[in-house]
Amino acid sequence: MTLRTPCVAGQFYPSSRSALKAYLQETIVSDDHKKDAYAVIMPHAGYMYSGATAAKTISRVNIPQTVFMLGPNHTGLGEPFSIMTNGSWITPLGQVSIDEELAEKVVRQSSLIEEDDVAHKKEHSLEVELPFLQHVRPDVNIVPMAIGSHDLHKLREVAEAIGSLLMEYNVLILVSSDMTHYESEQQASEKDRKAIDAIIRLDEKMLAAVVAQHNISMCGFAPAYMALIMAKIMGAQSGELVEYTTSGAVTGDTAQVVGYAGMIIV
């Protein structure tokens, strides 16, 4: 059995179980009006910067047994469409098992999808989301996929293949993405609003167009593009913004910020 050990515990989030649990208990507020959702988009920076936005987002939705996780490949390691099909991911809160049956079916959906652990070993984008899922639903299972391609044709092909499969399952898609990187708060907010509007409209073509036209450094663009296609196949009708903020809200530095958006697709 493959065990994927943490690579950013103690950097992006607390490495001790007690400290991490205390943070999540304080940050994740119970919401009596949770929604069933097809997908969520959550930021993946250090918790001091984006943890509150991630917590507010996950607090708003019902978490099914299995979460299909889509994150960008920052490291460049591994295959362009890398999925882990067996084993568990470890966090300070314990182990999260991979839904092996579903993961193996996903691999068979497209020749572009590869069973690959390498892309995940040093990639933080999915790891930082796991404690939020564990806190809200301790028995959660995952299907983790890292995307290292920006080829729109291939992204669509894979998304359509997976979306048609997920129609048969009660699964939440979780997209891990930050928004604009290292621009002024005003510039970041203006650019990110264009991407957010496209996601609210569930318009992946519009999202691709505004990201390209305005050079939006949204690291999880490819996973978000795929998720919009997948969610619409599954029945999604609209998106909504839970919260948008920037690192400047924490650091006070508005000259160079990173944008963070929490969104729900229903």
What the block records as the tokens of 77 is: 């390691």
Cβ 204 vs Cβ 161: under 8 Å: no
Average pLDDT (191-213) is 98
Percentage of the chain modeled with pLDDT above 70: 100
- Summarised one tens digit per residue, pLDDT across range 112-122 is 999 999 999 99
What is the rounded CA–CA span in Å between residue 27 and residue 30? 10
Q: Which residue has the tokens 């291939």?
A: 154
**Is the pLDDT assigned to residue 211 strictly greater than 90?**
yes
- Summarised one tens digit per residue, pLDDT across range 35-66 is 999 999 999 999 999 999 999 999 999 999 99
Q: What does the pLDDT read at residue 166?
A: 98
**Is the pLDDT assigned to residue 200 strictly greater than 90?**
yes
Domain ranges for the chain? 33-265
Pick the CATH number of 33-265 from 3.40.1710.10, 1.10.15.40, 3.70.10.10, 3.40.830.10: 3.40.830.10
What the block records as the tokens of 130 is: 């796991």
Split at pLDDT 50, 70, 90, the class of 97 is very high
What the block records as the tokens of 8 is: 């950013």
Q: Which residue has the tokens 């250090």?
A: 46
Cβ 146 vs Cβ 42: under 8 Å: no
Q: How far is CA 232 from the centre of its chain?
A: 17
Mean pLDDT of the chain: 97
Task: Name residue 239's beta-bridge partners.
Answer: 265
Average pLDDT (146-164) is 98
Tell me which residue of 132, 116, 119, 173 sits closest to 29, measured CA to CA.
132
Cβ atoms within 10 Å, residue 213: 10
- Summarised one tens digit per residue, pLDDT across range 156-189 is 999 999 999 999 999 999 999 999 999 999 999 9
**Is the pLDDT assigned to residue 237 strictly greater than 80?**
yes
Q: Which residue has the tokens 């983790």?
A: 144
Split at pLDDT 50, 70, 90, the class of 83 is very high
